[in-house]
Amino acid sequence: MVFSRLGFTLEPGGALLLLGPNGSGKSSLLRVLAGLLRPSDGVLEWNGQTLTEDPEAHAARTHYLGHHDAIKPVLSVAEMVRFWARLHRTDFAQADRAAEAAILRFGLGPLADMPGRMLSAGQKRRVNLARLLAAPCPLWLMDEPTTALDRASIAVLETVLAEHRAQGGMVVLSTHTDIVLPDAEILSLDRFAPAPEGLS
Ligand SMILES: Nc1ncnc2c1ncn2[C@@H]1O[C@H](COP(=O)(O)OP(=O)(O)OP(=O)(O)O)[C@@H](O)[C@H]1O
pLDDT confidence band for 198 (50 / 70 / 90): low
Range 118-123 contact pairs with CB under 8 angstroms and sequence separation of 24 or more = 119/71, 119/77, 120/148, 121/148, 122/148, 122/149, 122/150, 122/153, 123/77
Rounded distance, CA 23 to CA 82, Å?
Answer: 35
Fill in the amino acid letter for 103: I
* Per-residue model confidence as pLDDT tens digits over 8-25: 999 999 999 999 999 999
Rounded Cα gap, residues 81 and 101, in angstroms: 10
Distances (CA, A) of 146 to 10, 143, 158, 180: 22, 9, 10, 11
Q: Which atom of ligand 1 is nearest to the CA of 31?
A: 18
Nearest CA to ligand 1 atom 3: 28
Expressed in angstroms and rounded, the spacing between residue 20 Cα and the centre of ligand 1 is 12
Average pLDDT over residues 116-128: 97
CA 170: distance to chain centroid? 10
ipTM over 0.90: yes
- Cβ–ligand 1 contact at 23 (below 6 Å): yes
For a mutational test of ligand 1's pocket, the pick from 3, 17, 24, i.e. the residue with the most ligand atoms closer than 8 A to its C-beta, is 24
Report if pTM > 0.90.
yes
Q: How confident is the model at residue 199 (pLDDT cuts 50, 70, 90)?
A: low
Which residue in 38, 40, 33 sits closest to 9, CA to CA? 33
Nearest CA to ligand 1 atom 29: 23
CATH number of 1-61+138-200: 3.40.50.300
Rg (CA), the chain: 17
Report the distance separating Cα 20 and Cα 191, nearest Å: 9
- β-partners of residue 185 are 16
Residues of the chain with CATH 3.40.50.300: 1-61+138-200
Residue 31 near ligand 1, beta carbon < 6 Å: no
